[in-house]
Structure 1
Amino acid sequence: MNELLALGLPSYLVILLVLLCAYIIFGVAGFGSALIAGPFLAWYIPVAKIVPLLALIDLCAAIINVSRDGRSANWPELKRLVPLMMLGSLVGATLLLNIHPEALMLALGLFVVAYALYALLGRRPQRTFSPRHAIPFGSVGGVCSALFGSGGFIYAIYLSGRLPDKNAMRTTQVTLIGLSTLTRVVLFALAGVYLDTSVLWLAVCLAPGMIMGVVIGRRLTLKMSREQFLKVINVVVLAAGVMLVVRYFVG
């Protein structure tokens, strides 16, 4: 609660606006909220509280989306990806404890930037992936989630080449992110992070920005063609790659 009192009304309104923009992207793409919200929140909120705070808000956003559009999710794809995501997360956590992931961060960031630019420039036909491609994409997505706190852009690349329906793609993506975030929330809860009630108060007070963003994002998605939707996805994927490269050089 002290953080809320220290923010003041102008700062609080700025944060709400940032959350609104971040969750419009989340409502459209099914991921990417942390890319926008994280750096801005660091100006106002202690960094140690940002990850558990966004995990809690992301989980709530995923629940809202899945409760409304859960029937559109492609469950065969989820059954393929979720076990691989969990296995990849275990591998990523092990790597995080034993190596310095900076080189991996740079290599992955450059690959993602190149892929997104290639897709946005229209230099390739629409790629169709086979079910066996779930093995590298699912496992690498899990590794990225553990190493860098974000794997949604990896799943987005795979799902864009598997699901022709944009609503199915978005809802499947949101469900994946929700399951991944649920794992983090449970771990934070077991570690006692949420015993600090200031994190819970912040989540409650910032929830209006998230809810409005998710609603607006969903409505925008319903009005988009598949081509427009994929362009948005590739822009967010590009932003994810750029952020990884920036994090490598900034440290």
Structure 2
Amino acid sequence: MLVDLLGQWSFGAVDWLAIGAGIALAYIVFGIAGFGTALVAGPILILFMPLSKIVPLLVLLDFVAAFGNLVPSRRDVHRPELLRLLPCMGVGCTLGVIFLLNLKSDLLLLLMGLFISAYAIYSLWIKARPTMLSTAWAVPMGVVGGTFGALFGSGGFLYAIYLNSRLPKDQARATQSALISCSTVVRLSLFSVAGVYADGPLLVLAVCLLPAMGLGLWGGRRLARRLSREAFVRLVTWLVLASGIALIGRYLSA
């Protein structure tokens, strides 16, 4: 029965190896930074399946991964920052769904890539910069992060920028995991209502990729524990830059 359900994908052994490696790499990044799965795994998975299947697939895996990250670190969640960002993220997700249903997102994709690449280059280049953002930044970071998350599956970098400027590393990661958990619940609900998961093979594929996801999370968590706060923030900034370049590349290849 499993073969029948996966029959539509027609994956060979090398295909499965590449897909599994892409998922593992994406969740190593997720385990370290708490975001980036769509931007890391997307360019690999697009070789084997359409984007319309990739985003719902990664939402399923992100749902499991985010709660897996949240459970052991829930005591580190900084509730004031979480409650400050959640309403803004909710507004952003609503706007993102409206834009997704009514606008062409290719130009937004390019603008997003240019913006976050410019920010990352600035952050890496300028050493003397404010160490803490004002709480007022929760509004644009939350709204735009929610919007980008609904449009492109990749708004977590904005939460990371804000939280890493205000909280210690463990609290920032735990609070971001809580935010990503809430975001995936919203997106999972929207895809479910739209009937996306009525497609049996997609659910089975997600289950088959759970071991690769688990391996990536395990590796990412081990790496994150060995990093100082400064090294962690710098690594997140490099990941943000890579995400921006990936978005620009996706726009140019579309």
Structures share a fold, TM > 0.5? Answer: yes
Cα distance in 1 for residues equivalent to 2:24 and 2:156: 19
8 Å Cα contact 2:149/2:155 also seen in 1: yes
8 A Cα contact 2:6 2:205, kept in partner = no
Q: Shift of residue 102 of structure 1?
A: 3.8
- In the other structure, the counterpart of 1:95 is 99
More moved, 5-14 vs 208-217: 5-14
Greater Cα offset, 215-224 or 43-52 = 43-52
Provide the residue aligned with 1:81 in structure 2.
85
Instruction: Determine the C-alpha separation between the residues in 1 that align with 2:7 and 2:173.
Output: 34
Task: Tell me the amino acid that sits aligned with residue 188 of structure 2.
Answer: V
- Aligned-pair distance for 1:230? 0.6
Q: Structure 1 pair 95/9, CA: closer, same or farther in 2 (3 Å)?
A: closer
Q: 1:4–1:20: structure 2 CA closer, same or farther, 3 Å change rule?
A: farther
- State yes or no: 1:245 paired with 2:210: no
Task: Report percent identity of matched pairs.
Answer: 46
Distance apart, 1:125 and its partner CA = 2.6
The aligned counterpart of 1:171 is 174
Whole-angstrom CA distance in 1 between matches of 2:105 and 2:197: 28
1:160 is the counterpart of 2:164: yes
From the superposition, tell whether residues 213 and 41 of structure 1 become closer, same or farther in structure 2 (CA, over 3 Å).
same
Deviation at 1:103, TM superposition (A): 3.8
The answer for the alignment partner of 2:69 in structure 1 is 65
Gaps of 5+ in 2: none
RMSD (Å) for aligned C-alpha atoms: 1.8
Which deviates the most, 120-129 or 78-87?
A: 120-129
2:11 aligned counterpart, secondary structure: helix
Structure 2 residue identity aligned to 1:51: V
2:46 to 42, 45, 51: 42
Deviates more, 1:117-126 or 1:35-44: 117-126
CA drift of 1:126 comes to 4.4
Equivalent of residue 130 in structure 1, options 126, 130, 134 = 134
User: Residues of 1 paired with 2:146 and 2:177: CA distance?
Assistant: 15
Alignment-derived partner of residue 2 in structure 1: 6
Structure 1 residues 10 and 83 mapped into 2: Cα distance closer, same or farther (>3 Å)?
A: same
**Residue ranges of structure 1 left out of the alignment (5+ in a row):** none
TM value normalised by structure 2:
0.91
- TM-score under structure 1 length normalisation: 0.92
Separation (CA, whole Å) in 2 of partners of 1:146 and 1:67: 24
Q: CA deviation at 1:5?
A: 7.0
Contact 2:6–2:204 at 8 Å: present in 1 too? Answer: no
For these two proteins, the number of residue pairs brought into alignment is: 250
Please say if 1:120 is aligned against 2:145: no
Quote the offset at 1:4 in angstroms.
7.8
Q: Aligned equivalents of 2:197 and 2:159: distance in 1?
A: 29
Partners of 1:151 and 1:5 in 2: CA distance: 29
What is the alpha-carbon distance in structure 2 between the residues aligned to residue 95 and residue 47 of structure 1?
18
